Amino acid sequence: MPSDATTIESTIMALLSAAGPGRTVSPTEVAQAQHPGTDWHVLMPAVRRSAVQLALAGHLVIYRKGKPVDPTDFRGVYRLGLPRHD
């Protein structure tokens, strides 16, 4: 059942694209999309690792309480969004 990082990253980007500009997705949504059912929570560490890698590469922004955070130093509940270009 473990998903590889590339698959998780693809899922993150697909969900963000589907959400539309200015919208965010939760890491829970990513895990549930990868592994429907009751065991999705086991993917949460891998989703976080993939989100950090994508953020460091400039492909997404990690938000905490609606504000962008340092991808290498954040805790708690977070959401993922596409970078804004305005």
- The confidence band for 1, taking pLDDT boundaries of 50, 70 and 90, is very low
Angle at 50 between CA 47 and CA 56, to 5 degrees: 140
Backbone angles phi, psi at 80, to 5 degrees: -120, 140
Percentage of the chain exceeding pLDDT 90: 83
E-assigned strand segments in 5-68: 24-25, 61-64, 67-68
Joined together, the tokens standing for residue 41 give: 């929570």
For domain 5-81, give the CATH number.
1.10.10.10
pLDDT for 5-35, tens place per residue? Answer: 899 999 999 999 999 888 999 999 999 999 8
pTM: 0.91
For residues 66 and 47, give the distance between their C-alpha atoms in angstroms, rounded to a whole number. 19
Across the chain, mean pLDDT equals: 93
Domain spans in the chain, listed from the N-terminal domain onward: 5-81
